[in-house]
């Protein structure tokens, strides 16, 4: 069905460029904007919008197969990660795709440029009027009332049917998300500092039951403390999103207090994208950013740690930052080999399936290069985000449940139990993965009919692993503070991976890279956590139990056992 204006446009382009675009078909639509967004007006015709299009990869199934070969512990090609050029040769769109899309855009006088080295993302800037015609839609301005930020979005758009196989995602269109939020590193209200009558069950000091410091983690997980060689090939990255700032002076104070054994000049490297500034003024230090830098630099014994700071210049919405963070790393010759993110939201209300899928494909490219991509699983229990209303409805999954990412849940106390705030459950966007099927189905069997209809038993299950997120001590603006949540767990777990990578690469072996198939194949490498549950949506949530569970995944790190499992 062609609208009048579209028919006119098709006829015009027929006259101008002799291109006949096939019938426009709806590519994506949603019923309404998610709660928290209010429609204000149609977007002004002359407002410029920065658009990106994700083009079909030349050989996505080939890349998937290559990654499976490299990441399956039983494969003869185990850990033979791909080079940048190899990944690009799979990811680059075909000439047919490029030509079809270029021709379509140019019939609207739009000239695009590649946004990634492989050219699987292209970008252009166009007035709203042109974008409306291109996508046979009407862009509107929506107010994100929580932040007061306005976004130009639409509830649906179409593309010519001939282009459907070539175009995977168009952004910004139907994805709605407020400014990126840290995984709410919850500030602990009261901290019991004395625990004198504690019975010692492990060699971990009793104080660690109430407050986690780097030495608690070293004791609890057996993390090495020795300074790595200056020539280490291991490198770690942590994501930071504006307005968070990671404070170097606070890190210095933290190291002096908690790692006096390390050189006092150790710090993080800063890479700034999208207009980020990482303001160095103690009063503007962010809990999340300080946590992420202190619980990486403070644990990795001198392994270079990059604070990947993503700003907010495009104003088209924070989803850009997510894409940018991964695409920036993809474009680097030697990206950090672990990349930890402690920011997120929930799966379905924010990003469309197509954008989530495109984002996941970017993570796949990075994972294929031997990068372990880790995420905090979220802090709302089975509700994913702490403020989500879901009583009586299915548990809303977290973002991202991309199978190429490793999701990290939180534990607390010693001995460890699953932390109640851990987001855990089952994706509606991505299916259960073969490497997790046995472990996850064993749990689903135990669950029986409990919560039937509230979770998707055929979805990709998470978290994959867990680490401490109880009451973790950090330094902010010169003072001690206590934070908790999966925000702590992701950098802590990632530091363990970075240390194993250092040992592996020093021994001439490849880094751990895409972790999940290996994690699930090596349950003995983790401390199985069997108690704790993650309430939410008016329920008690899932319960931790023997083996994998949707609170603590496969468990928390056991460095010595992981080392052995890694082949060291």
Ligand X SMILES: *[C@@H]1O[C@H](CO)[C@@H](O)[C@H](O)[C@H]1NC(C)=O
Of 211-219, 323-331, 425-433, 476-484, which part binds ligand X (CB under 6 A)?
425-433
Residue 456, interface with ligand X (CB under 6 A)? yes
SS3 271: strand
Per-residue x/- marks for ligand X, 27-46, CB under 6 A?
A: -------------x------
Which of residues 86, 89, 138, 143 is near ligand X by CB under 6 A?
A: 143
Convert 99-147 into a string of H (helix), E (strand) and C (coil): HHHHHHHHCCCCCCEECCCCCCEEEEEEEHHHHHHHCCCCCEEEEECCC
Which of residues 107, 296, 428, 527 is near ligand X by CB under 6 A?
A: 428
Q: How far is the CB of 526 from ligand X (least distance, A)?
A: 21
**Rounded Cα–Cα distance for residues 92 and 79 (Å):** 23
Closer of 145 and 389 to ligand X (Cβ): 145
Residue 198, interface with ligand X (CB under 6 A)? yes
Of 140-148, 351-359, 486-494, 517-525, which part binds ligand X (CB under 6 A)?
140-148
250 marked ligand binding residue: no
547 marked ligand binding residue: yes
346 marked ligand binding residue: no
Residue 89, interface with ligand X (CB under 6 A)? no
Q: How far is the CB of 206 from ligand X (least distance, A)?
A: 7
Q: How far is the CB of 552 from ligand X (least distance, A)?
A: 16
Strands (E) in 405-510, as ranges, are 405-412, 417-418, 425-431, 459-462, 465-468, 472-476, 479-484
288 an active-site residue?
Answer: yes
**Rounded Cα–Cα distance for residues 490 and 143 (Å):** 32
CB count within 10 Å of CB 299 equals 26
Residue 140, interface with ligand X (CB under 6 A)? no
Contacts of 183 (CB under 8 A, 6+ apart): 288, 342, 343, 344, 376, 378, 379, 485, 486, 487, 490
State the catalytic residue, choosing from 247, 271, 292, 416. 292
Per-residue x/- marks for ligand X, 311-350, CB under 6 A?
A: ----------------------------------------
Q: How many C-alpha atoms does 451 have within 13 Å on its Cβ side?
A: 25
Closer of 424 and 459 to ligand X (Cβ): 459
Convert 488-547 into a string of H (helix), E (strand) and C (coil): HHHHHHHHHHHHHHHHHHHCCCCCCCCCHHHHHHCHHHEECCCCCECCECCECCCECCCC
Which of residues 46, 109, 148, 508 is near ligand X by CB under 6 A?
A: 148
458 an active-site residue?
Answer: no
Of 41-49, 296-304, 428-436, 549-557, which part binds ligand X (CB under 6 A)?
428-436
Where do the H-state alpha helices sit in 201-346?
Answer: 214-221, 248-258, 287-297, 319-330
85 an active-site residue?
Answer: no
Supply the angle between the helices 353-368 and 60-71 in degrees, to the nearest 10: 50
**Rounded Cα–Cα distance for residues 341 and 339 (Å):** 7
CB count within 10 Å of CB 267 equals 17
Which of residues 41, 145, 202, 434 is near ligand X by CB under 6 A?
A: 145
Q: How far is the CB of 11 from ligand X (least distance, A)?
A: 30
Q: Are 110 and 124 in contact (CB under 8 A)?
A: yes
State the catalytic residue, choosing from 288, 309, 316, 324. 288
Contacts of 523 (CB under 8 A, 6+ apart): 439, 547, 548, 554, 555
Q: Are 304 and 498 in contact (CB under 8 A)?
A: no
Of 193-201, 279-287, 299-307, 359-367, which part binds ligand X (CB under 6 A)?
193-201
Helix (H) and strand (E) counts for the chain? Answer: 15, 26
392 marked ligand binding residue: no
Q: How far is the CB of 555 from ligand X (least distance, A)?
A: 19
**Rounded Cα–Cα distance for residues 176 and 318 (Å):** 9
Of 145-153, 156-164, 330-338, 385-393, which part binds ligand X (CB under 6 A)?
145-153
Which of residues 378, 396, 459, 517 is near ligand X by CB under 6 A?
A: 459
| Size of residue set near ligand X by CB under 6 A | 23
Tokens coding 226: 């020795």
Which of residues 8, 20, 45, 62 is near ligand X by CB under 6 A?
A: 62
End-to-end CA distance of the chain: 63
Closer of 110 and 195 to ligand X (Cβ): 195
Residue 252, interface with ligand X (CB under 6 A)? no
Residue 59, interface with ligand X (CB under 6 A)? yes
Closer of 33 and 500 to ligand X (Cβ): 33
Give CA 527 to chain center in angstroms: 24
Residue 263, interface with ligand X (CB under 6 A)? yes
Radius of gyration of the chain (CA): 24
Q: How far is the CB of 564 from ligand X (least distance, A)?
A: 28
Which of residues 6, 25, 110, 195 is near ligand X by CB under 6 A?
A: 195
24: nearest Cα among 11, 35, 10, 43? 10
Q: Hey, which residues are catalytic here? A: 288, 292, 487
Binding residues for Ca(2+): 528-529, 547, 549
Instruction: Write out the residues near ligand X by the rule CB under 6 A.
Output: 40, 59, 62, 65-66, 95, 143, 145, 148, 150, 195, 198-199, 209, 263, 265, 413, 428, 430-431, 456, 458-459
């Amino acid at each position: 069905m062609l609208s009048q204006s579209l028919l006119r446009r098709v006829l015009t382009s027929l006259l101008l460029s002799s291109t006949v675009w096939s019938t426009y078909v709806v590519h994506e639509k949603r019923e309404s904007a998610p709660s928290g967004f209010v429609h204000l007006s149609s977007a002004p015709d002359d407002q410029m919008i920065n658009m990106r299009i994700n083009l079909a990869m030349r050989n996505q199934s080939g890349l998937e197969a290559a990654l499976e070969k490299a990441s399956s512990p039983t494969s003869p090609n185990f850990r033979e990660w791909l080079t940048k050029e190899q990944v690009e040769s799979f990811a680059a769109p075909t000439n047919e795709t490029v030509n079809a899309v270029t021709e379509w855009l140019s019939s609207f006088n739009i000239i695009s440029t590649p946004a990634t080295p492989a050219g699987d993302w292209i970008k252009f800037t166009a007035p709203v009027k042109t974008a409306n015609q291109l996508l046979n839609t009407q862009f509107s301005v929506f107010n994100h009332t929580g932040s007061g930020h306005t976004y130009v979005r639409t509830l649906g758009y179409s593309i010519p049917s001939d282009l459907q196989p070539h175009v995977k995602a168009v952004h910004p269109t139907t994805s709605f998300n407020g400014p990126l939020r840290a995984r709410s590193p919850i500030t602990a209200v009261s901290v019991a500092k004395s625990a004198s009558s504690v019975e010692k069950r492990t060699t971990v000091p009793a104080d660690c039951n109430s407050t986690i410091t780097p030495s608690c983690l070293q004791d609890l997980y057996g993390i090495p403390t020795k300074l790595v060689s200056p020539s280490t090939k291991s490198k770690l990255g942590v994501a930071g999103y504006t307005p968070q700032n990671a404070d170097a002076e606070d890190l210095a104070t933290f190291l002096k207090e908690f790692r006096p054994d390390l050189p006092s000049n150790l710090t993080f490297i800063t890479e700034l994208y999208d207009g980020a500034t990482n303001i160095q003024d103690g009063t503007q230090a962010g809990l999340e950013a300080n946590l992420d830098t202190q619980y990486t630099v403070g644990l990795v014994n001198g392994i270079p740690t990059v604070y990947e700071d993503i700003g907010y210049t495009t104003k088209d919405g924070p989803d850009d930052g997510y894409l940018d963070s991964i695409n920036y790393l993809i474009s680097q010759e030697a990206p950090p080999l672990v990349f930890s993110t402690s920011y997120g939201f929930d799966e379905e209300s924010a990003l469309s399936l197509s954008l989530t899928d495109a984002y996941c494909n970017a993570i796949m490219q990075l994972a294929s290069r031997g990068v372990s991509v880790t995420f905090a699983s979220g802090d709302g229990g089975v509700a994913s985000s702490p403020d989500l209303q879901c009583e009586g409805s299915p548990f809303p999954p977290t973002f991202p449940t991309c199978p190429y990412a490793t999701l990290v849940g939180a534990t607390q106390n010693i001995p460890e139990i699953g932390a109640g705030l851990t987001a855990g459950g089952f994706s509606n966007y991505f299916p259960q993965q073969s490497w997790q099927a046995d472990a996850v189905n064993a749990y689903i069997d135990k669950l029986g009919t409990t919560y039937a209809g509230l979770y998707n038993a055929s979805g990709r299950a998470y978290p994959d692993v867990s680490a401490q997120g109880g009451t973790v001590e950090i330094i902010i603006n010169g003072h001690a503070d206590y934070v908790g949540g999966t925000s702590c767990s992701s950098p802590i777990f990632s530091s363990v991976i970075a240390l194993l990578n250092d040992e592996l690469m020093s021994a001439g072996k490849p880094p751990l890279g895409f972790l999940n198939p290996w994690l699930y194949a090596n349950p003995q490498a983790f401390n199985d956590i069997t108690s704790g549950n993650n309430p939410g949506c008016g329920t008690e949530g899932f319960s931790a139990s023997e083996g994998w569970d949707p609170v603590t995944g496969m468990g928390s790190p056991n460095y010595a056992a992981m080392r052995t499992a890694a082949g060291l």
